[in-house]
Amino acid sequence: MRKSVLFIAMSLDGYLARRDGGVDWLSGQDPADPGIDFYSEFIGSADTVVIGWNTYRQITEELSPGQWPYEALTCYVITHRQLPSSDAIQFVQQSPCDLVRRLKRQPGNSIWICGGANIIQPLIRENLIDEYDISIIPTLLGSGIRLFGESDRELRLHLLRERSSNGITELLYSAD
């Protein structure tokens, strides 16, 4: 069975983005230091990415307009909109949990859970994330969109790796 991996960055105080969705703060402490490229190391292990509509819109309109950055992956965009799919981008009207359960039964490499919070939080509640690969950015936002929402249960994780580069600390956990 394939594993699902939440690969994401958050501020030191636990936010994915500013209140308006802005992620311009996603960098290390020294702009001149390229540091370790955690993303490039991770992406080779995945062949599928799951994102929500807001994340898809942000990628296509703000972060990478005119160029889809995940061409090597099959992308599933969870949305209520009825949009035409292509081989590379599938627009689906499934719940995040149903989609990930279905994808995990299919052959392939890791499933990258990319975001946003409305996709991630139900998967955490249903314990459908196998690994948490979280990069802590040396920034305190003070407010914004939280990575981890309220939960009525405890979820214990096992630390597999920790490393730092340019002030960013990457933590890799497996779900017990």
Give the model's pLDDT for residue 6: 98
Give the model's pLDDT for residue 149: 82
SS3 assignment, position 175: strand
Give one DSSP letter per residue of 65-115, joined into a string.
TTS-TTTTSEEEEE-SS-----SSEEEE-S-HHHHHHHHHHSSSSEEEEEE
Question: pLDDT digit string (tens) for 26-50?
Answer: 999 998 898 899 999 999 999 999 9
CB-based contacts of 44-47 (< 8 A; 24+ apart in sequence): 45/5, 45/109, 45/110, 46/5, 46/7, 46/73, 46/109, 46/110, 46/111, 46/112, 47/72, 47/73, 47/74, 47/108, 47/109, 47/110
* Percent of the chain residues topping a pLDDT of 70: 100
The model's pTM: 0.94
Give the model's pLDDT for residue 176: 76
Give the model's pLDDT for residue 74: 96
Give the model's pLDDT for residue 15: 96
Question: pLDDT digit string (tens) for 121-169?
Answer: 999 999 999 999 999 999 999 999 999 988 888 899 999 999 999 999 9
pLDDT: which is higher, 108 or 87: 108
d(CA 73, CA 89): 9
